[in-house]
Structure 1
Amino acid sequence: MHEEKLYQQVEEEFTATLIRARRTLRRRARQIHPELQPAGYKVLALLMKRDGQQQNELAEHLELDKATVSRIIKQLETQGLITRISDPADRRAQLVSITDEARTSWIATGTEARQNLRRKLDEWSDEDVQRFAELLHRLNVAED
């Protein structure tokens, strides 16, 4: 069993990491479109990985109700960040896709974020970076 202050330290640093990640997400969202909200950013993130999804698939991945996802999709479409077309496999459904402009902006903001991280990690030894990656992996695969 570890000392309580060690757990508190980890919690504090983890909280600081989450706050920084949210701040980065909001900044990247604004760079893509000034009115892009974090939920819309998450939809774009899914579409960057797998474009052309039905809204119900997006709702399932995001763990949001269909009405909420529908509102987000309408906002993204108004902002010119996504398009919707009829699903050829199911004409009752629509496929949501990211626009070329949004994809280009996504890639550019991601490149900037990776460069910032690499600048910070460049100050670390290779061993420290390797150990950090291993520890993050261990934390991320741990069962809840």
Structure 2
Amino acid sequence: MSPDQTPSTDEAIAEVEAQLGVLFGRVRTLWKEGAHRVHPDLQPVGYKLLATLVRSGSCSAGALAELLATDKSVISRQVKLMEELGLVVSAPDPNDGRARILTATPEAVVKIDAIRDTNQAQLRSRLSDWTDDDLTRFATLLARLAE
């Protein structure tokens, strides 16, 4: 324990860790449910990739892997499946003939947007009694944690 930490600091950090575990479990459940809503054969990691593509716009598989800190082989397998399911199309990158640009299909965009709307409505409901200051502080703290 560092000199500026007390047992209560350690307990608080342990509680933060526990609550993050609960939150991450809920996020994994949302990805699983979202994947199933998009297509019964889509895996949660595919949903995460597809949702990122919809939010961020077209990009290469390498850029998507970097953005999500995911192995390129995972991206490749999921993209192949999503192409087969009609959720993603790929085209040669005009700037790099070796790379391909991935784009969510219009059907995928509609499905992801509908799921995102539902998720945001649920989050809005859970946070409806929070003040603007609470929400701003929470967002700031989350951003600091992600640094």
1:46 paired residue among 25, 38, 52: 52
Structure 1 segments unaligned to the other structure (5+ residues) = none
The SS at the match of 1:84 is strand
2:129 paired residue among 106, 115, 123: 123
**1:60 and 2:75 matched:** no
The SS at the match of 1:36 is coil
Q: Which residue of 2 aligns with 1:7?
A: 13
Percent identity reads 35
Q: Separation in 1 of the partners of 2:124 and 2:77?
A: 36
Q: Which residue of 2 aligns with 1:73?
A: 79
Q: Which residue of 2 aligns with 1:21?
A: 27
2:140 paired residue among 115, 134, 142: 134
Structure 2 segments unaligned to the other structure (5+ residues) = none
Q: Which residue of 2 aligns with 1:88?
A: 94
**TM-score of the pair, normalised by structure 2:** 0.81
The count of residues paired between Structure 1 and Structure 2 equals: 141
**TM-score of the pair, normalised by structure 1:** 0.82
Give the drift of 1:127: 4.1
Amino acid at match of 1:78: E
CA separation of 1:79 and 1:10: change in aligned 2, threshold 3 A:
same
Root-mean-square deviation (Å): 2.1
Amino acid at match of 2:135: V
CA separation of 1:64 and 1:137: change in aligned 2, threshold 3 A:
closer
Give the drift of 1:122: 1.0
